[in-house]
Amino acid sequence: MKIKVTRVSYKPVEGQPYYEVWIEGKDKDGKKLKQPVDLAYVHIKKEGKWNCLGRIMDFECDPCTKPFTF
């Protein structure tokens, strides 16, 4: 799903030493979204291809895909 992100925030995971990343934005139909995301499955455009944000940030993750065009 491709969305236009308007806000990014994070919240601590209850009982864990981790945080969740939350995004807010709109989809292609203008529907508002607010949800947590897994950075292994978030992709951003870099050098003409969509790349895993988790990997770009040097996190240990498995995005299950190579950089791609969209």
**Residue 69 pLDDT more than 90?**
yes
Give the list of residues 6+ apart from residue 7 with CB closer than 8 angstroms, or none: 23, 24, 25
Task: Inform me whether the pLDDT recorded for 1 exceeds 90.
Answer: no
pLDDT of residue 17: 95
Q: What is the pLDDT of residue 42?
A: 94
- If you write DSSP's letter for every residue of 14-64 in order, what string do you get? TTSS-EEEEEEEE-TT--EEEEEE-GGG-EEEETTEEEEHHHHTT-----S
pLDDT of residue 70: 82
C-alpha R_g of the chain: 13
Whether the pTM exceeds 0.75: the reply is yes
Higher pLDDT, 16 or 1: 16
